[in-house]
Amino acid sequence: MEIIRRNTDYALRLMVHLAVARDEGYISSRILAEEEDVSHQLTCKLLQKLHDAGLVLSSMGSKGGFKLKKSPAKIKLTDVIDSIQGPILINRCLLRNDACPRQKHCPITTKLGRIQKTVTQSLDSITLGDLLIQE
């Protein structure tokens, strides 16, 4: 099972591309699709979701395309993940308080809840800017 789904991975790649080229202005969806090896149709769909989430700006016309709405340092991985696939949950029982009738007394839920908190905090602490830094 994938924690980060394929479309989310593609969206992260598109966002990193936009972050690297942020000083170049708008980049067309065709160029993004071609350079990131994502179909143009899927690229457009993902960029629309990222636009709806307020992460990218779009411009029409011959010099139009997409660019980041904010600095890469202000865009968290969770912003991108949530906009494409929703929050990452390691188990359905963590979805909501009434997801399982045994939830209140289940030792598994308690342990998974701790793991979930760690995963969420880790992803929330990484920004797009962090992905640009070569280690």
Report if residue 11 sits inside a domain: yes
**Quick check: 123 pLDDT over 80?**
yes
Q: pLDDT tens-digit profile of 63-114?
A: 889 999 999 999 999 999 999 999 888 877 766 666 677 767 788 878 888 8
pTM for this prediction: 0.86
| CB of 69 closer than 8 Å to CB of 57 | yes
Give the domain range for residue 58: 6-132
pLDDT score of 51: 98
- For the ranges 9-23, 51-65, 85-99, 113-127, the lowest mean pLDDT is seen at 85-99
Q: pLDDT tens-digit profile of 33-47?
A: 999 999 999 999 999
Domains of the chain: total: 1
CA atoms within 13 A on the CB side of 104: 2
Tokens of 22: 């942020």
pLDDT score of 82: 96
Report if residue 77 sits inside a domain: yes
Report if residue 120 sits inside a domain: yes
Of 2, 1, 3, residue with least CA distance to 78:
3
pLDDT score of 109: 79
pLDDT score of 26: 96
What's the CA angle centered on 80, arms 92 and 118, to 5 degrees? 50
pLDDT score of 16: 96
pLDDT score of 70: 95
Report if residue 1 sits inside a domain: no
CATH number of the domain within which 123 lies: 1.10.10.10
